[in-house]
A and B are shown apart, each in its own frame.
Chain A
């Protein structure tokens, strides 16, 4: 244990005092003491960069702690008043806040520095917006963004169309639906990193069975691994293969909740299957499609494991996604400041999508 420096002690104490004061003001004395102690320890360990996120955590926690009493009339009064509700809620919320807020704040700070692993011991300095301004002139960025957008939109379109079609097929009173459903959801739980290798085996230009089948049908083998767009398509196909079942199970659930009477009534007007789908099925599954599209959107622009293991980002850099580029810059080349700036752009996109999502979902979680 190195000797305690006054500077570090203050770096912990000062931010810690704020949540401690709020907690004490609200009559939560234990929390106040815990906040002060934890923030001080965080300060001793890493100065402001550790203690400030901690302090924010405790501040939010202290605010959560104010219970709205008398709101839930139907539950008995003893339960309402009980302090137990805070002990139930807080461990999980605190964990999430610590490990979500801290990284977010810390990487925002890093994005304004020239942090590298090499100067981690000597410390790094603030360089203002330099990292952000160099993003514009970075050719790799536009390249990887193209790949990411292609994969995201391609996967979104493919999984939604295929998933809806499969859901429609299985919405026909199929005997043994549960078994089929179990089989179809198997890809969802496979490790993406392993599925990249599955793609490597399947799409291999000589020994892979995809080209074998294409040749069997009279076509020419596709250069999956040497042609940039074919390689991107191969990654897209593996990703869509994994995630189509996700769309399928959600849309199937949505279709099954449509009452049969609606179809019976509509059949008085038309017997065309397509107009039934367009006028009844589609409008009623549209909200579920929207939800699933947003969830998929968030997931697909994170895509990184499959291109990484399948082709190592190759041929050349054709299958390197934007996330891949961040990973490589920050954790392979250890240019952490620049990588954080790159990542923060992704964070902003994530925040926008998250906001849209919560607008839709608010009522569901009330």
Chain B
């Protein structure tokens, strides 16, 4: 492991009186290039593969035009006129993700605000623990009861049923992101509004919420990404009409045999939206994903 060798010189390069900053600087940049390559490589390989035909995808070739003829047939088959199943599944994914994001963000903002501003007899920290423990619970452990519940509600294979399920999983993110935001947010402005005789609801709607825009956006994007990526519950509760895109992707290999090019195309479509959205919430990623455990 040559990499760990470089790890033994922390901060040398930062200090002003280091002896030879040049070499360690070079090593650091070599490491950075290597790390970036390592993170991006699978994406790049998937993009290359997605432009290959079924036959070409069986060879490990890299360079388009020289080693293989790039073709957009996978992309047009998936997104073109023939892709009715695809558009339906993407539509379902969007409906499920947007629906549960809306619900989770609204409920989460209210609860997060309450946990940051008021004190409750049962102890705020206990309420936070319940909220967090939802995320700690293995989904497989709750799947069977959920399945039976949704069945009783006659909501199997409906978008509504999936919204209910996904709201449950994403709500803790929304609550904790918003709690964290309001907890760090100075109370003085709200107190000033109180002196002016505003009601709590008015304070929340007119004073706190307009300032919480970035945090709400972050909460919404993280909820959206998790709902969009959900597969397990969908595979059981939304197998046909309400099938989301992740479930469609999972059934690719059985439909068309092993067609790596096509598989890569679908995989890329499945991951693009959440990955791109995540680029807008960099500031909140650490707090969001650690459920407020770490301030980033």
User: Given A71-B119, A92-B107, A169-B35, A331 and B231 touching (CB < 8 A)?
Assistant: no
Asked if residues B229 and A192 are in contact (CB atoms below 8 Å), the reply is yes
User: Pick the contact of A201 from B14, B264, B278, B294 — CB < 8 Å?
Assistant: B264
Pairs A–B under 8 Å by Cβ, sample size 26: A65-B121, A67-B119, A67-B121, A72-B119, A75-B187, A76-B194, A84-B201, A92-B111, A92-B131, A93-B131, A104-B142, A170-B32, A180-B32, A182-B279, A185-B278, A185-B285, A197-B252, A263-B11, A305-B231, A305-B232, A309-B249, A331-B147, A343-B141, A350-B138, A362-B125, A366-B125
User: Pick the contact of A354 from B133, B144, B229, B253 — CB < 8 Å?
Assistant: B133
User: Pick the contact of B274 from A64, A84, A180, A191 — CB < 8 Å?
Assistant: A191
Asked if residues A93 and B111 are in contact (CB atoms below 8 Å), the reply is yes
**B residues at A contact (CB < 8 Å):** 3-4, 6-15, 28, 31-32, 35-36, 38-40, 42-43, 45-46, 49, 57-60, 62, 107-108, 110-115, 117-122, 124-125, 127-149, 152, 164, 167-168, 171-172, 175, 187, 190-191, 194-195, 199-201, 203-204, 225, 228-229, 231-232, 235-236, 246, 249-250, 252-253, 260, 263-264, 266-267, 270-271, 274-275, 277-279, 282, 285-286, 289-296
Closest to B49 in A: A201
**Binding site secondary structure of chain B:** helix
Residues of A within 8 A of B15 (CB): 263-264, 267
- Extra 7 A-B pairs, beta carbons < 8 Å, given A96-B130, A201-B264: A91-B111, A174-B28, A190-B270, A190-B275, A198-B267, A253-B286, A357-B132
How far is A160 from B285 in the complex, measured between Cα atoms in Å?
Answer: 18
Asked if residues A327 and B296 are in contact (CB atoms below 8 Å), the reply is no
Q: Number of A-B pairs whose CB atoms are under 8 Å?
A: 355
A231 to chain B, nearest CB (A): 16
**9 closest Cβ pairs, A-B complex:** A92-B111, A273-B9, A84-B200, A88-B114, A212-B60, A103-B142, A191-B229, A89-B114, A103-B145
User: Given A76-B194, A100-B133, A189 and B141 touching (CB < 8 A)?
Assistant: no
Asked if residues A288 and B294 are in contact (CB atoms below 8 Å), the reply is yes
Asked if residues B32 and A169 are in contact (CB atoms below 8 Å), the reply is yes
